[in-house]
Structure 1
Amino acid sequence: MSTRDLTQSIMRRKPLNDIEEENKHSGLFKSLGLWQLTAIGVGGIIGVGIFSLAGLVAAGNEDTPGVGPAVLISFLIAGLASAAAALSYAEFAGMIPRAGSAYTYGYVALGEVIGWFIGWDLLLEYIAIVAVVAIGISGYFEAFLSGLGIHLPTWMASTPDEGKGGIINIPAILVCLLVTWILSRGTKAFGRFELVAVAIKVVLILFIIGLGVFYIDTNNYNPFMPSGFGPVLAGSATVFFAVFGYDAMSTAAEEATDGKKHMPKAIVLSLIVAMLLYVAATLVLTGMQNYKDIDPAAGFASAFTSVGLPVIATIISVFAVLSILTVMLTFLLGVTRVWFSMSRDGLLPGWFAGTDKHGTPQRVTWIAGISSALLAGVFPIKAVADLTNIGILAAFVVVCLAVIVFRYKRPDAPRTFRLPLMPFIPAFGVLASALLIWQLPADTKWRFGVWLIIGLAIYFFYGRKHSLMNPNSPRHAEAEEMHRPVG
């Protein structure tokens, strides 16, 4: 094959007209309305960011200095970068209501190899997110048991890298398996659970803010930025984990009752609600307790204990576990739908795209769930969070670039939402995401690079040859039949 032919094959784009026909044969059930979609988005955004990462960045650790009350600035920087990407996602979601999210957007706008890379990236990152959240839940679960006078053996509640003498994080493993089982029951049941759990989560955070504001000591805000702006910017790269989630929600587009209409609204609504709650919560957290004394694993439980309210701390620990579960559910849903979409397109074996009577891709659900359990069991939270962030930031770069390219290549494509100030907002999203990637540790970048190299090998040895877009693929004729007009 000539260099030109190779380039054309890897840069082939998925036709926009094929999307709706494929959706009719997906096997996924359409059962999610606007408020359920918004709940999935809020459920994915709000969770470990407030309950774990806010305290971690504010207090710091042996590797990074604490940023103190300026953790608020870290969240705002991350939120600004995320908002630019959110608007880009909203435009694509209104055009392409299909499982796959950034993978599909990249495939349609930039070509197959770009779509593959971002899909392969998301498989790792979403699994890593589920693992991060499970580790965060484990911390609050320990805090809850400690409040009852029960202390888990160190060997079974922490990992070797945490320096506590641990071997494996069994609570984190068990919670990964629990959410996998919940998701395996079907999207309709999942949507109902998510709506109720997110409502409980929002009420809990409002309760924390409403009660905590009476225990704020303004002396704790001084100094506001104890370590300078550099650590604040680096902290924004870590808490970036806390300001996305709508991207995973967009992977459920094929299961929305009216994806083109509801997806853009749900994306914007979920980010607005989350950022308002984050700003208020971080002010309360760093106002109640000096940043040096905050427990990185269970920040709010630590803060309420410090003001003489251990019972409230116990209540927070219980409901934090429930509320953080929604984050795991959202991203486990995300990884299974990206995997399903890549398999349906022929880039991964079609065996993974099989669905059951609930309209759920059971095989990839359990494979992803068990993989996240293994990751959560042996790695510390910051290492997994950084690995997650670099992947999502890379996805945001691709989506922001793709929305610019597609607006100029296909200005005629019907859009239920048009991103304003084109191309300035998505260009800002590219630059901001790239800057945050630069702030991440070198070992995180190396791990990410190795994963992409593995993905490149799989694509050239399997995906490129079996793609439905490849005329010589065994499944190409099947795809042609699906897209052939009737009559």
Structure 2
Amino acid sequence: MSSLVSRLFRREKVDRYLETDKKFVKTMSAVDLIALGIGAVIGTGIFILPGTVAATKAGPGIILSFVLAAVVCSTAAMCYAEFASALPVAGSAYSYGNLVYGEIIGWILGWALILEYVLAVAAVSSAWGAYFKSFMSGFGINVPAAIVGPLDIAHGSYGNWIAIIIVLIISSLLAHGMKTSVRLNNIIVFVKIAIILLFVVVGAFFIKPGNWHPFMPFGVHGVLAGSSAVFFAYLGFDAVSSSAAEVKNAKRNMPIGIIGTLIIATLLYVLVAIVLTGMISYTKLNVADPVSFALQVVHQNWAAGIISLGALAGMFTMMVTMIYSSSRLIYSIGRDGLLPKFLGKIDAHGNPINSLRTITLIIAIMGGFVPLDQLTNLVNIGTLIAFLFVSFGIIPLRHNKEIENSHGFQVPWYPVLPIVSGFLCMFMLTQLQAETWIASSIWFLLGLILYFSYGMHHSRLNQPDAK
């Protein structure tokens, strides 16, 4: 029994990770990382959540809800920043878990992140197809419903082929190397931010301060409930840490990328919430597209059309970041032998092409043919489990003599802040629905079966040079 336990908790060596990941080309700056992060965090939610949560939970107090959620999220972000600074390797929480906890914990975290990335991108690609059809109809171009809906051949619906095409386009961009992909992502993120700021500027002229009264119609409880609801809007910044092996001066730039993402995202969410609840009474905002609705109410229909473009841009950059991050995650697990080793290969251009193609195929099939309405809640549990272990992981990280981070970012108020962060993640996990826990339990059971039947026996730690 003790032999089994020691095998489960054997830890990877930092030097081996650093040596293997040297094949990646270091091209990304702090600005590139922030653009990747904003690409993941700011999606269509910024045009929906401030309105619907204000109407149903917090009223204008949604402004405080976003700030409170950001404060909670920032504790985990600082823990990620220290890990990324100390360990500039691919794989994010999966690799961190392998290094400070042991292989079985690393595997569980990797399996949780696969769930997060695959479901998030598949769901967004499916929504992108629907938004694209709606956007094109504004120009009088009719995209047939038969290629933008769920697979239901009996009723003339052949899957969401627009979703499949957009995933393949993004994957093709990433396959040509990060330099081109990052440049395009930066441009689209800039356009997305410009569209959000356009709404803020235009909407500011139609603010009626009376709409902010009462500021907290549902009381403090409403603000807290709103904070719990919008907390998940910030999830995605963790994907930035997957890029650590491809970042110039990672000790400096990784913390800037992670924390900078959270600060800018918070400012944008708060600005939209301030303007939206000032333009129109919160009681009228429980609609599918509250930002467009508010602009139409004040007769600014031209701006409402631009918001649709912003939604498409938001979903596009989210998919770029998540497909990129998931390919690096799958590469990392293949690198360690826990999944087939061909997934851990890097081509001559410094790209993990096999893992990119594999994850693209899975996401395209799910986004194009599988109804995801009930599964998207699982994204949250995968992320929170990773947050939980990364937060508490700061303590063994500081005690690991192999890992030196004297000149990198370190979490302030150690060990209090990492412990607080871990308990906050536990609290957020308790807020998830029972159905989410049941479905995720099945996923993790499958993961453990795969680990014990394949990963444990093929692990790179079984090789003589791992001793």
Relative to the length of structure 1, the TM-score reads 0.86
> What SS class does the counterpart of residue 346 from structure 2 fall into?
coil
The corresponding residue for 2:307 is 316
C-alpha distance after superposition, 1:412-465 (max 9, x if no partner) = 723411110011211121121111121122111111111111111111111111
Further displaced range: 354-363 or 276-285? 354-363
Distance 2:269 2:328 in 1: 28
* Matches for 1:43-82 after TM superposition, within 5 Å: 43-59=39-55, 65-82=56-73
Distance 1:334 1:105 in 2: 15
Distance 2:146 2:320 in 1: 27
The corresponding residue for 1:264 is 255
Deviation at 1:238, TM superposition (A): 4.4
Q: Percent identity?
A: 37
The corresponding residue for 2:404 is 413
The corresponding residue for 1:134 is 125
Change (3 A) 1:268 1:291: same
The corresponding residue for 1:435 is 427
1:187, 1:358 within 8 Å by CA — same for their partners in 2? no
Residue 9 of structure 2 is aligned with which of 7, 11, 26?
11
The corresponding residue for 2:167 is 176
Q: Match of 2:90, as an amino acid?
A: A
Deviation at 1:330, TM superposition (A): 0.7
Residue 447 of structure 2 is aligned with which of 451, 455, 470?
455
The corresponding residue for 1:29 is 25
The corresponding residue for 2:36 is 40
* Matches for 1:75-154 after TM superposition, within 5 Å: 75-138=66-129, 140-145=131-136, 147-148=138-139
Further displaced range: 165-174 or 255-264? 165-174
Change (3 A) 1:343 1:267: same
Q: Match of 1:113, as an amino acid?
A: I
Change (3 A) 1:381 1:464: closer
> What SS class does the counterpart of residue 45 from structure 2 fall into?
helix
Q: Match of 1:39, as an amino acid?
A: A
C-alpha distance after superposition, 1:60-84 (max 9, x if no partner) = xxxxx55443433442333122100
Change (3 A) 1:204 1:50: same
2:25, 2:350 within 8 Å by CA — same for their partners in 1? yes
Aligned length: 463
Change (3 A) 1:464 1:441: same
Distance 1:233 1:135 in 2: 31
Q: Match of 1:126, as an amino acid?
A: Y
* Matches for 1:268-283 after TM superposition, within 5 Å: 268-283=259-274
Deviation at 1:367, TM superposition (A): 2.8
Q: Match of 2:16, as an amino acid?
A: D
**Structure 1 runs not aligned, ≥5 long:** 60-64, 471-475
Q: CA RMSD in A?
A: 2.9
Change (3 A) 1:232 1:150: farther
1:354, 1:361 within 8 Å by CA — same for their partners in 2? yes
Q: Does residue 422 of structure 2 align to residue 422 of structure 1?
A: no
Q: Match of 1:458, as an amino acid?
A: L
Change (3 A) 1:167 1:247: same
Deviation at 1:345, TM superposition (A): 0.7
Change (3 A) 1:282 1:396: same
Deviation at 1:185, TM superposition (A): 2.2
Deviation at 1:371, TM superposition (A): 2.6
Distance 1:151 1:307 in 2: 28
2:330, 2:343 within 8 Å by CA — same for their partners in 1? yes
Q: Match of 2:325, as an amino acid?
A: G
1:295, 1:302 within 8 Å by CA — same for their partners in 2? no
Change (3 A) 1:392 1:239: same
1:139, 1:298 within 8 Å by CA — same for their partners in 2? no
Deviation at 1:293, TM superposition (A): 4.0
Q: Match of 2:455, as an amino acid?
A: G
Residue 231 of structure 2 is aligned with which of 223, 240, 265?
240
Distance 2:453 2:269 in 1: 45
**Structure 2 runs not aligned, ≥5 long:** none
The corresponding residue for 1:346 is 337
2:123, 2:372 within 8 Å by CA — same for their partners in 1? yes
Distance 1:221 1:345 in 2: 54
1:393, 1:437 within 8 Å by CA — same for their partners in 2? yes
The corresponding residue for 2:359 is 368
> What SS class does the counterpart of residue 414 from structure 1 fall into?
coil
1:48, 1:242 within 8 Å by CA — same for their partners in 2? no
Further displaced range: 131-140 or 13-22? 131-140
Change (3 A) 1:123 1:351: same
Deviation at 1:409, TM superposition (A): 4.1
The corresponding residue for 1:62 is none
Q: Match of 1:40, as an amino acid?
A: L
2:335, 2:345 within 8 Å by CA — same for their partners in 1? no
Deviation at 1:372, TM superposition (A): 2.6
> What SS class does the counterpart of residue 215 from structure 1 fall into?
coil
